Structure 1
Amino acid sequence: MVISRKQESPKCDIFINKVKLKQTEKFKYLGTIISNDGKTNREISARTAQAKINFQKMKTILINKHISIETRKRAFQCYIEPVLMYECEAWTISKQIQNKLEATEMWFLRRMLRIPWTAKKTNERVLNEANKRRSLVRAIRKRQATFLGHVMRRGKLEHLVTTGKFEGKRNRGRQREKIMDGLAT
């Protein structure tokens, strides 16, 4: 796989024992989807879908009205959030992705409180009812900052890649958002 900004990925021929390896657009490595455009949109969508599947598997516990909301929230934090936030330290979160993550957080909360989509309750009202604040994006940013501190102290190739300080000309057009840009906000 060749990771590039270009619309059409450059062709790369690699041979092992005179056998040509197939070039791919995306693959899964250690549970994370790596795509040839270098973006994390597919990975975040896959994580969201996997977390929703796990939520459905634990639905009997997470929406049970006989269990207190605090206990259900703790169960959610223990069993669903880790699935959703796996490898989030490497995500580049744009405003669009942040909105998607916040919507996902509200999706989980509305189901835990058994609020149907036809009930016209605002997100703020749902958060008040659950005695909760939005915490998913904040937790992701905290994990990213912790990881960034580790990378900055190490000061090797990871530091160079993360800070994006390479010599040479930049490409034309709007520059992509970097991990550092998300942490600055």
Structure 2
Amino acid sequence: MLRISWTAKKTNDTVLEEAHTTRLLISKIRKRQATFFGHVMRREKLENLVTTGMLEGKRSRGKQREKLIEGLTDWLKAGKSLEAIEATKDRKKWRTMIANAVKQGT
């Protein structure tokens, strides 16, 4: 590829400049969020309720925070959050949804 020796003292940024590419930090973060969300949703515990926002009780005052599932459904273009929750039960389907979203680069 670039024929850079492993003993050469080059930073990752200079190597990326030579390769004419950039790091896609946001897509990496979203991919990790989606894999974590799939992991949590396959379990039947309190974390499941927290990530979906289905806890009982009063909400705090002011503007409500965006739920994790709402951000992921927008990124994955799943339509409704229920579709994303059902997709997490099937691991292969969930992974293909994540892979397609990463390929699109949104």
More helix by share: 2
Q: More relative contact order in 1 or in 2 (CA 8 Å, sep 6+)?
A: 2
Q: If you compute each CA radius of gyration, which structure gives the higher value, 1 or 2?
A: 1
Please report the TM-score for the alignment, with normalisation by the length of structure 2: 0.49
Please report the TM-score for the alignment, with normalisation by the length of structure 1: 0.30
